[in-house]
Structure formats: structure tokens, C-alpha cells
Structure 1
């Protein structure tokens, strides 16, 4: 099985659903975990694992998209979608790196401290938490916006010449 077809359907059309769900879900989880320590304690290692799966799904989807691009007419909407799609990998990498850092510095390191030791390093914890929240917001919102832009351009590329604003007379 290659990356071009799955059961006769272009693989990109199937893989894109993984990206559309996991990247925004990862962004939301990252922001929640950075802002709310209790959420991070509950989510734990699942945060960077989810970000890793999201990261891996992006090049898989873009690779399948490049194979599909060779089989469709090259027109401006398809080219625009392709260019936008290529811009998601840095955002997915950012999600993974910030998720791993949030888990490592805010969860893993603080989980092993006693209450007395945490009180002694409280001055360091606040700047670290603020940095984590700001980075999480920037990367999470950026990734989410990029997914919406890519999805919008993909829908336009797929439907721009196959959709009529009015119903066909013979179909009611």
C-alpha cells in the first residue's frame, strides 16, 4: 500500500482528517495545560505524545497531497492549497517542542518536588509558567489558524469548479 491510494480513494483525502482533528486538539490541550496546572497533572505524558502523533501526521498528509497533486489539474486554488499546506510543518514542530517543554519543566520537574522545595523556587516558577503560557498561546493559535487557512483553501481547490450556487433544474 502506497501513500497515493487507500481502497481506491486518494490517501490525502483520508489523512487530512487526522491533521484537522489532532493539530487543533493538540493546540487546545497545550494551552489548557500551560494555563491550568491541574489539567497538566491529569494529562501528563499524553500531551507530548499527542503532539508527536500530530507532528508525524503532517508530513504524511503533505506527502500524500503531493502525490494527489500530480493527478489533478494544476490551477491557482490547488497551488495555493499546496503552498499553505507546506507551511504547517513548522507549526506542528513548534507544538511538539512546546508541549514537550511544558510537560518536562512544568509537570515532570515539579511533580518530584516537595512542597517546601517548591516554595523555595517559587520565584523561578512564575517566569517559567508565564513563558510557557505565552509560547503555548502563540504556537497553539498559530497552528490552529494555519489549519483553518489550509482547510479553507483545500475546500476551494476541491469544489471551485464542481459546485453550483443554485440547484440544477432536473434535481429539484
Structure 2
């Protein structure tokens, strides 16, 4: 089992996921809806998303290891199911954010000329911005559902 400072890693890593998930989701929603914020949000959103996806996979693996050593009540199994949905959501969110940034963040086209055509297509930009907003909203929702099921399994609420 992955341990950090003598504690199961899942109980520590989950705090970062619970913060980064909704924050990244909110960033994607604002990025998609408020064009004037895009120059400010592109890098933080990209970096946060690049951290969130692997962190959610590591946290899920640590949770599975913790579950194997502690046993699985019905509440823990419910949390594990939500955690599985969350980790897939985080990976899909990463893909959507990368595509959204590739299609809308002008400095990327300056560095990668192949993206210029993508950025010139208004229907693609609108579709990817819409996908980014929807993915952000679902990530926020799934963060809340997964976090609630996890806290309920620990605190019995």
C-alpha cells in the first residue's frame, strides 16, 4: 500500500483532488464562457488539468489498495464506483481541455503552426468551448458526488 508519512496515501491525496477537481472545472467553465479571461486562464487551467488527471489515477489506485486492506462496506463500494467515474472523468476532462486550448489559445498557434487552421474554424472553436464548459460542469458535479460518498463512508453521514 502506498504510504505517506505513515498514513495511507489515499487519505492525503484525496484532499488535493477534492480541491483541484472543482477548481479546474470552474476554470474550464469560465474559460469557455468569458472570452476576455482566456489569456489569463489558459496556463493555470492547462497546468491544473495536467496535474489533476494523473493525481486522480494515483489517488484511485491508493484508494483501491486501502480498500483491499480494510475491507469494503457498501458505502466504501459506492465510493469506489464514484471514484472510478471520477478518474475517467478527469482523463476525459484533460483531453477536452487540451483540445479546447489548442483551438482557442492564440499563442499556441504561434508556437505550433499546425494549430492555426484549427483556430480559424469557428464551428470547431464553439464546439470545443461548449465541450469544455460541459466537461467542467460534470467534473465539478462528479467531484462533489465522489467526495460526499467518501466522507460518508468515513464519517457515517
Fold in common (TM above 0.5): yes
TM-score, reference length from structure 2: 0.84
Bigger radius of gyration, 1 or 2?
1
Superposition deviation, residue 73 in structure 1: 3.4
2-side partners of 1:128 and 1:10: how far apart? Answer: 44
Larger helix proportion of the pair: 2
Whether 1:74 aligns to 2:72 is yes
Q: 2:139: which partner in 1?
A: 143
Question: When the two structures are aligned, how many residues end up with a matched partner?
Answer: 151
What is the 5 A alignment of 1:28-107?
28-107=26-105
Superposition deviation, residue 111 in structure 1: 6.5
Deviations 1:52-105 (A, max 9, x none): 100011111011101111222321111111111111122111211111112111
2-side partners of 1:104 and 1:54: how far apart? Answer: 19
Superposition deviation, residue 45 in structure 1: 3.1
- Unaligned 5+ segments in structure 2 are 111-118
- Unaligned 5+ segments in structure 1 are 113-121, 164-172
TM-score, reference length from structure 1: 0.77
Q: Say what the alpha-carbon RMSD is for the aligned residues.
A: 2.5
Select the residue among 95, 115, 121 that pairs with 1:124. 121
**Cα distance change, pair 123–82 in 1 and its aligned pair in 2 (3 A):** closer
